[in-house]
Amino acid sequence: MSRIGKLPINLPKGVTVTVAENEVTVKGPKGELKQKINSAISIKVEDGVVYISRPNDEKENRMQHGLYRSLINNMVIGVSEGYKKTLELVGVGYRASNNGQVLELALGYTHNIFIKLASEIKLETKNERNQNPLVILESCDKQLIGQVCAKIRSFRLPEPYKGKGVKFVGEQIRRKAGKSAGAK
């Protein structure tokens, strides 16, 4: 039995889960999310608790048992609390600004980078004196916010020598010694 798949999901107040054919819909105060599921996996909602089960121990069903439990749990957390990611731009001249849902990044290239974000993501930028610029993203969809963060980060990955680049707040970058440290 899957250790993750057999765990029940407790629904907070104001969150409803409905299962129709091969689709699970989760509604809450922060929004509504849908996820298609395999028809072999069965989902029951009883007394504010969601149970996920599989018909047999075939490899495919075992793999999807824990997967769908995690996806549904992330959806429940997203529509009740939401997800928030903060990116920090480390480097001289790196800036971030937004105009509605359009994010403008100055990351040391000859041109600025413009990204139009989905309407499900709430965008905020902070540029304070003597502080690194911050890009704050909020959404109820964990997959979407993670994908957007990975895209923004891919424009200038943190490098190990000076630590410059786009990184998550609180992320530790493994630093390397430069050329002078090795030449003795």
Q: Running along the chain, 184 residues long, what does each successive block of 10 average in pLDDT? A: 83 92 92 92 91 90 91 95 95 93 94 95 93 95 96 94 93 87 56
Whole-model pTM: value is 0.87
Token readout for 138 is 């909020």
- Sign of torsion, CA 118 121 122 127? negative
Query: What is the side-by-side order of every strand in the sheet holding 16-20?
Result: 16-20, 23-28, 31-36
Q: Which fold has domain 83-168?
A: Outer Surface Protein A; domain 3 (3.90.930)
CATH topology identical between 9-80 and 83-168: yes
Q: Report the C-alpha gap between 18 and 172 in whole angstroms.
A: 41
Q: How many CA atoms lie within 13 A of 8 on its CB side?
A: 11
Residues whose CB is less than 8 angstroms from the CB of residue 30 and which lie 6 or more positions away in sequence, other chains included: 78, 79, 80, 81, 82, 140
pLDDT for residue 184: 56
User: In 18-135, where does DSSP find H-type helix?
Assistant: 59-80
Domains of the chain, residue spans: 9-80, 83-168
Q: Report the C-alpha gap between 138 and 46 in whole angstroms.
A: 30
* The one-letter amino acid at 52: I
* CATH superfamily, domain at 9-80: Ribosomal protein L6 (3.90.930.12)
pLDDT for residue 136: 96
